[in-house]
Structure 1
Amino acid sequence: MSRRAVLSLVVLAACPALPCAAADAGWSDPLAPLELPRAANAFRDGAGLPGPAYWQNRADYRIAVAIDAKTDVLSGQETITYANNSPDSLDRIWLYLDQNIYRRDARASVIASKWFGQHFTDGDVIESVQVIDGTGSYTPKTIVSDTRMAVELQRDLGSHHALKLKIAWHYTVPGPWGGRTAVTPDSEGKIYEIAQFYPRVAVYDDLRGWDTLPYLGAEFYNEYGSYDYSVTAPANMVVAGSGALVNEAQVLDAAQRARLAQARASDKTVMIRTAADVDAAPRETSRTRTWHFTMTPTRDVAFVASRAYLWDAARINLPDGRHATAMSLYPKQDQGADKWGRSSEYLKDSVENFSRRWYPYPWPNAINIAGHGANMEYPGIVFDGIRDVGRELFWVTAHEIGHGWFPMIVGSNERRWAFMDEGFNTFIDTIESDDFNHGEYAPKRDSEYAPGGGKPADEIVGLLRDPKAPVILTPADSVGEAYRHPVEYFKPAFGLTMLRETILGPERFDRAFRRYIAAWAFRHPDPSDFFRAMSSDSGEDLGWFWRGWFMNNAPLDYALESVRYVDGDPAKGAELTLLDKGGLILPAPLRLTFADGHVENRVLPVETWRYRPNVTIGLHTSAKLSRVELDPDHAIPDADRSNDSLTVP
C-alpha cells in the first residue's frame, strides 16, 4: 500500500447516529486500556526509555586461547573485570559455561537432540578460578550446575565496586554436529568455528537479579564491556574474529597487508588471501602464530581459524563519513560470483542499509564466514552455510549480520524473548531484500507455516487460526520447533510491517523505531520497554495492537455485508455495513470505486469496532459507486476474502 493510502485515514462514524449506544452485551472492548507485563518505574520509565535510576553492570575480558589442531582441544585463560553498578551487594557471581551443553548429562540433551545426535564432549573443564578484590586474592568455592557456575565470594562485592576473576579452562571442540561451535574437515584443512568458548558472566539486572536460565540452545543474554583477546593457532591458518585485528604486521605478509589496505578504500571486493596463498601454505606445521583482537563495546566475541580459507574484503560507507570493512572467508571450492564471491558485496550493502535506516554500525569490521551451516550470529562476525549460494546466501547474510542490531546493539534477552531478536531482525532484513540492487532478490518470504510465495498477510492466516500456536510473548525455550520460525520470526516481523505500513505510516514508525534503538543501544530492554517506546514516540496508544498481535493468537475476519445509498440517492451518500467475525482487530484498508472510474482509498480505524462487532458507517460520498473492496492489496491477514468486496448496483 502506498504511503498516501496509509496516511489518508478518514474518521468515519462508528454508529449511524450520535450518540452511540452502549456496547453490545457480551462484547469486550478491544481498545480497553492494556496493563503491560511490567510497570514503569525509576529504572525504566513510562516512555519506554531508560529511567533516571537505570543501571547496568559491566564485564571486561582479557582472554588468551590456543587451539591444538591434533586433539581439537581449545585451552584458555581469562581475566574478567566485573563492575557492580547495581544498588545491591553481591555475595556470588554467576557465570555461563556454554560448552557444557554438549555433555551427556546436560539438561538440553533431553529436549534439544538436534544439537547432539549420539555425540557428546566433556564440556568445559575448569582448571582453576581465582578472585582478586580490593583486599587480596583467594580461591573461591565454585558450584557447577549444568551450563552455569556460581563463584562464592568470601567478601561481598559492594555497590559501585569491582573485582577480577581469573579462570583457566579447556574443552574439546565438537565436530560438525556442534551447532554453535564446531570443527569441520575440509580438503584444504580443518575449519574451526569457535563461539561461546569462554566462561562469561551472566547478566545481573533490575528485572530479575541474576538471570541464569540454563542454556538449552536458545542463544544467549550477556553483559556489555570491552574485549581484548588473542588466539594462538597453527601458523598455516588464517584467523578472523570479532573486532579489530591489532597485530596485522605480525600475522600477515606484506602482500596481504597491502591488499587489505586497498580493500579498506575500495567499494569493490578485493582478495586478501588468494587461492595461491592457500596452496602455498604448508599442510602441516609445528609452528604457531598468535592473532590479537580488541572490541568495545560488545556483549560477546567469536572467531574462526583454518588453513582452508580464502579471504576478501570491501569498504563499508557509514553515516557521518565513517568507514568499516566487510570481509568474507570461504574455502576454494566456494569461490566465484555464483557462490561466495559476492558475499562481501551482500555484507557491505546490508550494513550500509541498516546503518542508514536505523542506527550506525559501531564496529570496525563485519565478517561473513562460510561454515558448516549453523547460520549463527555474533557481534561483528556471522557463520553461514558453506553451500549457500545466490538468493539464499544473500538472505542469510543480510539476516545474520542484521543481528548486529538485534540483539548485539540493542541487547534484549533472546533466551526469554526471541521475537525481540529474530522477529525484529527479520523485519529489517526483509526491507533490505527489497532495497538490494533494485530488488534483485526480492521479495523475501519468511513463512514456513504456509509457504507458497504469496502475500505475507495470506501466508500467516494458518498460524492465526491454529488454536495450538503459542503467542509471540511465549518464552523462547517454550516454543516447540514446529512453531519456532512462524512465531519467533515471521509473525513479529509481519506485525512490525503492518505497524509501519498500515497503522502508523513509515514516517511515524521509523522515527519511533530509531529512537528506541538509540535509547537502548548497548543496554537491556524488555518487551514492556519496546511497547511503551513505540506508543509514546509515535503518539498512538497501541495497547490494542500489543494485546491482539503479541499477547494473543487469533484470526482476523472482516466481512462486508451490504452497501446502500441514503434515501436511495447517491448524492446523499452511502452507508456500509460490515462485521467483525474474528478475534483480532486491525485498521482496515478500504477502496471505493465509483461509476465514473475514479478510485478513493481510505482506512477504517480500529475504533470502528469499539462498541460492537457489526457496524454501519457513513461513507460520506456524493457520487454513484460501482464497487467497495476491503483490503484489496492484502495488507492485513483477513481469514476469509470471499466476503471482502461488494458490487454496488
Structure 2
Amino acid sequence: MKFPNYLTLLMCIAISTANAQYDPSKIFITDFYKHHETSVRSASGKPGSGYWQNEADYTVKATFNVDTFLLEGEVLVDYINNSPDDLESLWMQLDQNISSSNSKAHKLKNPTEKSDPSQGYTIKSIRVLKGKTWEDIPYIIDGTRMQLRLKDALRSKSNISFSIVYSYVLQTRSSGGRSGYMDTEDGQIFQFSYWYPRLCVYDDYYGWNTLPFVGSGEMYLDYGTIDYEITVPSDQVVVGAGMLLNGDDILNEKTLKRLAEAKESDKTVFIRTAKELKKSVTKSKTGTTTWHFKMEHTRDVAWAMSTSYIWDAAKINLPSGRKALAQSVYPVASTQDKIAWARSTEFMKFSVEEFSQKWFEYPYAVATSVAGRVGGMEYPGLAFNSWKAEPYKMFLLASHEIGHTWFPMIVGSDERRHPFMDEGFNTFIDIYAHENFNNGEFAPKRDGEYAEQGGNPADEIIKVLEDCKNGPTLMTPADNMAREFVHPLAYFKSAFGLVLLREVVLGHDKFDYAFKQYINNWAYKHPKPEDFFKSMDNGSGEDLSWFWLGWYHNNWQLDQAVTAVSYVKDYADNGANITVSNNQQMVMPILVSVEEVNGKVHDFKVPVEIWKLGETAQFHVDTTSEITHVVIDSEHQLPDIDRSNNVWHSKK
C-alpha cells in the first residue's frame, strides 16, 4: 500500500517542478510592506504628522592658493536637533579623506600602504560655542568619518554651533574623482566639491548614517542654508552653487551689464568671450577677490574657477512667471572640432524649463554647467561636465546632471543606500527631455553598452535582466555592487521600470499625478524606497506591490506566450477564447493585438491581475470572423525574453 502512494508523491513532485517556473504566491503577496505607519512616515507614503529631520546651516570662508593647490578654510556649523533623541556625539563626513591611505577605499585595495599626510583633510581645530566662549571638542577621525564627542549632549529640539578650521591639498583627481584640476592653453581649471566637513544625517530609520565614502555611493545630507566666501586671485572667473551676493561690488561694469542682458534674454549672451581671456571680469586686476555665494534649502554646494573660462548665460522661464539664470563656463578647447560647449547654456535652459513644467518648479536662482576634468557630476543647481563632450553627449550630460537637482537634491533620498532613487528617477525624466528637445534632435536616450543602433529599450533591458539574473537587485547599495552592475541597474533598469509604469501599467495621467504628488510631498525631505512605493500605490489607486517585488527586489524575467485560440462552439462569430501562459516569474499586463479575416483589428490590454490565478490565463475576444493572427506586445513595450512565442497564426 505504501509503494503506490510513494510513486504518486514522486509524480506530483515531478509535475509540480515542471510547472514551478511561475508561482503567483511569490509575486502577489498580501504583506509586502515591512515598515508600517508611524507618526514620522504615513501608510500612504507621505511624511507623517510627526515627521522630523535635522537641519545643518554652514558658513564657510576659504582661500585657495593656485601655486600650492592648498585650500584653507573655516566652517561654522549651526546644527539643529529636531529629533526626539539627545545626541551625545555628532558624526561628520570628511570625503576628501578618500584620497588618504587611511580610508577604507584604500584599505580595501592596499591595506599595507603607508600614510601620506598630503592626502585628505588636515584638521587644525574644532571648537564649540558655549555662551560667549569657545571650547575645544574632542574628536576621532576614522577614514572619511569624524566623530565629535560632546561634553554635554545636544538635547532634543535644541541647537549647537561649532567651528572647524581645516585645509587640504587639491589633487589632480580627488574625492573619488569628483573634484580636481586640469591644464589648458589659457590657464588651469579648478573644480571643488566635498570641500568642507559636512554632517552625516541622523534620521528615524538608522539614527546616524555613517556609511563611509568609498567611491560609488554619493551623498546623503541634511538641508539648510550654506553661506560661503571664496578668496582667490582676482584674474579668476568663479562660479558656485547658489546666488552671487556681492556681484555689484566685485564685478566690473562690462560684466555686470552683460549679466543683466543675459537675465532678460532667451538667446545665449556672452559674459566673457574667447578674445577676452586676458582681461579680468572683476574690478581688481591684481591681488585677490572674495566671491560671496549663498544657497538656501540645499544639501550641499560646489564651485569652480579658472582664468581660461569663456562665460555665457541666458534666461530661464519658470511656470510661475519667476525667472532664473542658466550659465556655462568652459575653455576655448571646448569649442573646437565637434565639441558642443557653445550649446551648453541652450541645453541647460531647456532642461530646467522642461523639468519645471513637467514635474516641479526649479527653486534656485541659477543653474550652472562647468567644463573641466570631472566629466559628469552633480550638485544642487550646478554640474561638472566633461570639457570635450560632443553634441549628443553634451545634451545628455547637461540634461542629466542638472536633472539631479530634482533627484536627489530636492527630493533628498539616500544615494549611498538607494542609488536607484536618484540615478534611475533622473534618467527617467531625461528620457522625455531627449524626446522633446528640438523635435527630438537627440532622441532617443541611449544607455551605454546595452544600446544598439535602432534598438528598442525593452529589448535592450533583456540583456540587463539576463546579466543580473543571479546578481544584485535595484535595492542593493551602490558600494555593494560590482562596477559593471551600477549603470545597468541603478540607471537603466530603474528608469525603464518607471517607463513601464507610465506607458503600460498606469498610463500617463495616473502615473504623472502620483509621481508629482511624491515629489511635492518629499521636496526637501528624506524619503525611503517604501515611501516612494506607497506614494505611487496611493496616488494611482493601484496595488503595485507585485511590480515593486518583481522589478526592484528581484531580477525576475518575463516570458508571455500565446498557447491556444478557440472559437466559442466552434463558430468565429460567437467570439474567441485566447489562452496565454506566463513562463517566467515576472508578470505584466498582456498587450494583445488580434486581427480578423475581415480586416478588423482588436488592440487591448488585459490587467496584470489575471496572473493571480496561475500560470495560464484565458480571456474572450468578441469576433465576427475568423482570426488570422494574435500578437502579444506587438510594439515591444515589454521586456519579453522570448518573442518567438508571442505570435499565433491561423493554419488557414
What residue number does 2:3 align with?
none
CA deviations 1:90-114 (Å, max 9, x no partner) are 111111111000012311125579x
Point out the more displaced range, 598-607 or 88-97: 598-607
What SS does the aligned partner of 1:319 have?
coil
CA deviations 1:262-288 (Å, max 9, x no partner) are 000000000001122213359x98611
What residue number does 1:7 align with?
none
Distance 1:415 1:470 in 2: 15
What residue number does 2:228 align with?
229
CA deviations 1:105-156 (Å, max 9, x no partner) are 311125579xx9x999420000100011458531011011110111111111
Report deviation, 1:567: 1.7
8 Å Cα contact 2:235/2:279 also seen in 1: no
In structure 2, relative to structure 1, the CA distance for the partners of 1:295 and 1:281 (3 Å cut) is closer
8 Å Cα contact 1:366/1:401 also seen in 2: yes
Report deviation, 1:350: 0.3
What residue number does 1:156 align with?
153
Report deviation, 1:32: 2.0
Distance 2:560 2:31 in 1: 23
What residue number does 2:366 align with?
365
8 Å Cα contact 1:516/1:534 also seen in 2: yes
CA deviations 1:228-287 (Å, max 9, x no partner) are 1011111110000000001112321101100000000000000001122213359x9861
What SS does the aligned partner of 1:634 have?
coil
What residue number does 1:187 align with?
185
Report deviation, 1:607: 1.5
Report deviation, 1:45: 0.4
Answer yes or no: is 1:619 the counterpart of 2:621: yes
- What is the TM-score with the length of structure 2 in the denominator? 0.92
What residue number does 1:80 align with?
77
What residue number does 2:439 align with?
438
Distance 1:395 1:470 in 2: 26
In structure 2, relative to structure 1, the CA distance for the partners of 1:321 and 1:450 (3 Å cut) is closer
Answer yes or no: is 1:567 the counterpart of 2:566: no
What SS does the aligned partner of 1:345 have?
helix
CA deviations 1:519-566 (Å, max 9, x no partner) are 000000000100000001100000000000000011101111121211
Distance 2:353 2:590 in 1: 34
CA deviations 1:430-449 (Å, max 9, x no partner) are 11000101101000112534
CA deviations 1:181-239 (Å, max 9, x no partner) are 10211111111100000001110111111111001121111110001101111111000
Distance 2:514 2:24 in 1: 29
What residue number does 2:484 align with?
482
Alignment of 1:316-465 (within 5 A): 316-335=316-335, 339-449=340-450, 451-465=452-466
Alignment of 1:110-121 (within 5 A): 110-111=107-108, 121=118
8 Å Cα contact 1:100/1:147 also seen in 2: yes
1:516 to 511, 514, 518: 518
In structure 2, relative to structure 1, the CA distance for the partners of 1:112 and 1:287 (3 Å cut) is farther
What residue number does 1:257 align with?
256
Answer yes or no: is 1:59 the counterpart of 2:56: yes
8 Å Cα contact 1:566/1:572 also seen in 2: yes
Answer yes or no: is 1:629 the counterpart of 2:631: yes
What letter corresponds to residue 388 of structure 2 in structure 1? R
CA deviations 1:63-84 (Å, max 9, x no partner) are 0111100100111011000000
CA deviations 1:482-523 (Å, max 9, x no partner) are 111001100010000000010000000001000100000000
Alignment of 1:586-601 (within 5 A): 586-601=588-603
8 Å Cα contact 2:227/2:294 also seen in 1: yes
Report deviation, 1:628: 0.8
8 Å Cα contact 2:339/2:388 also seen in 1: no
Distance 1:55 1:92 in 2: 19
What SS does the aligned partner of 1:635 have?
coil
Report deviation, 1:453: 4.2
In structure 2, relative to structure 1, the CA distance for the partners of 1:164 and 1:126 (3 Å cut) is same
Report deviation, 1:180: 0.7
8 Å Cα contact 2:184/2:333 also seen in 1: no
Alignment of 1:5-154 (within 5 A): 27-29=23-25, 30-111=27-108, 121-134=118-131, 136-154=133-151
Distance 1:596 1:357 in 2: 43
Report deviation, 1:594: 2.0
CA deviations 1:340-395 (Å, max 9, x no partner) are 11100000000000000000000000000111133100001100000002011001
What residue number does 1:18 align with?
none
What residue number does 1:239 align with?
238
1:165 to 162, 166, 179: 162
Answer yes or no: is 1:308 the counterpart of 2:308: yes
What residue number does 1:291 align with?
291
What SS does the aligned partner of 2:518 have?
helix
8 Å Cα contact 1:561/1:578 also seen in 2: yes
Alignment of 1:521-560 (within 5 A): 521-560=523-562
- Structure 1: where are the runs of 5+ without partners? 1-23
Distance 1:593 1:620 in 2: 11
Answer yes or no: is 1:644 the counterpart of 2:641: no
Distance 1:133 1:383 in 2: 39
8 Å Cα contact 2:99/2:174 also seen in 1: no
Point out the more displaced range, 445-454 or 360-369: 445-454
Alignment of 1:599-610 (within 5 A): 599-610=601-612
Distance 2:285 2:109 in 1: 38
Distance 1:546 1:55 in 2: 26
What residue number does 1:213 align with?
211
Distance 2:340 2:477 in 1: 37
8 Å Cα contact 2:596/2:623 also seen in 1: no
What letter corresponds to residue 352 of structure 1 in structure 2? E
- What is the TM-score with the length of structure 1 in the denominator? 0.93
What letter corresponds to residue 516 of structure 2 in structure 1? R
Report deviation, 1:468: 2.9
8 Å Cα contact 2:309/2:329 also seen in 1: yes
8 Å Cα contact 1:445/1:453 also seen in 2: no
Report deviation, 1:328: 0.3
What SS does the aligned partner of 1:373 have?
coil
Report deviation, 1:616: 2.6
Identity %: 42
Distance 2:186 2:34 in 1: 53
Report deviation, 1:335: 2.9
8 Å Cα contact 1:412/1:525 also seen in 2: yes
Report deviation, 1:463: 2.0
What residue number does 2:199 align with?
201
Report deviation, 1:34: 4.1
CA RMSD between the two structures = 2.0
8 Å Cα contact 1:102/1:120 also seen in 2: no
In structure 2, relative to structure 1, the CA distance for the partners of 1:465 and 1:583 (3 Å cut) is farther
What letter corresponds to residue 363 of structure 1 in structure 2? Y
Distance 1:42 1:97 in 2: 33
CA deviations 1:415-471 (Å, max 9, x no partner) are 000000100000001110001011010001125346454111100112222333311
Point out the more displaced range, 37-46 or 68-77: 37-46
Report deviation, 1:599: 1.8
Distance 1:512 1:190 in 2: 46
What residue number does 2:8 align with?
none
CA deviations 1:8-36 (Å, max 9, x no partner) are xxxxxxxxxxxxxxxx9994433222422
What residue number does 2:266 align with?
267
Distance 1:344 1:372 in 2: 19
What residue number does 1:8 align with?
none
CA deviations 1:579-624 (Å, max 9, x no partner) are 1111100112111112222322111211221121123322233333
Distance 2:334 2:550 in 1: 46
Distance 2:223 2:448 in 1: 33
Aligned residues: 622
- Structure 2: where are the runs of 5+ without partners? 1-18
Answer yes or no: is 1:504 the counterpart of 2:520: no
What letter corresponds to residue 319 of structure 1 in structure 2? P
What SS does the aligned partner of 2:165 have?
strand
